[in-house]
Amino acid sequence: MQSAALPPRPSEIHLMELVVPEHTNHYGTLYGATALQLMGKAAFICGSRYARCPIVMARADDIEFRKPVRLGEIVDLRAEVVRRGRSSMTVTVDLTVENASGEPDRPRITGRFLMVAVDDQGSPIPIPGQAGEFPEEISF
């Protein structure tokens, strides 16, 4: 009898979102806090699917607002696990805007999120599965 192996860990996800009036500031552009919320959501989904256990955000850094995102634009959030440690992982998120031809633009907002696997009490635990999937192994 052959044991069923788990499918490969998804280390990348894409989310799409339409920028509506409640997402914008008085300039008609995506409010920075809303952009961070969307990026945090993408990082959480990506990290959760990768870790296959509960995770929390421990840090968000290197957030760079490069170009405004306007009301009515469709944003594409691409999140990817780029580093895995014993109990933590780094997820990068790029927020781009899909242009009229359907091709993504250069990233308008970028950021890096440190996500940590946790138990029921919120204490760090090892990420299930095998280590060594990424060249750099660092513990949180």
Residue 40, pLDDT > 50, answer: yes
The rounded distance, in Å, linking the Cα atoms of 8 and 29 is: 38
**Phi, psi (degrees; rounded to nearest 5) at 48:** -65, -45
Among the listed residues 14, 17, 96, 108, the one whose alpha carbon sits nearest the alpha carbon of residue 65: 108
Report the CATH number at residue 33: 3.10.129.10
What is the number of structural domains in the chain?
1
- Does a structural domain hold residue 125? no
* Interval 92-103 mean pLDDT: 85
Residue 16 lies in a domain: yes
Give the integer Cα–Cα distance in Å for 122 and 137. Answer: 22
> Could you tell me if residue 43 is inside a domain?
yes
Taking residues 49-78, what's their average pLDDT? 96
The separation between CA 101 and the C-alpha centre of its own chain, rounded to angstroms, equals: 25
Q: What is the pTM of this model?
A: 0.85
Higher pLDDT, 12 or 100: 12
Does some domain include residue 55? yes
Tokens of 115: 């996500």
Confidence of residue 140 (pLDDT cuts 50, 70, 90): very low
Domain enclosing residue 72, as ranges: 12-117
Q: Where are the alpha helices (DSSP H) in the chain?
A: 32-51
Q: Kindly report the backbone phi and psi dihedral angles of residue 39, in degrees, each rounded to the nearest multiple of 5, phi listed first.
A: -65, -40
For residue 6, what pLDDT is reported? 54
The verdict on residue 5 lying in a domain is no
> In this structure, are residues 91 and 79 in contact, taking their beta carbons and an 8 Å threshold?
yes
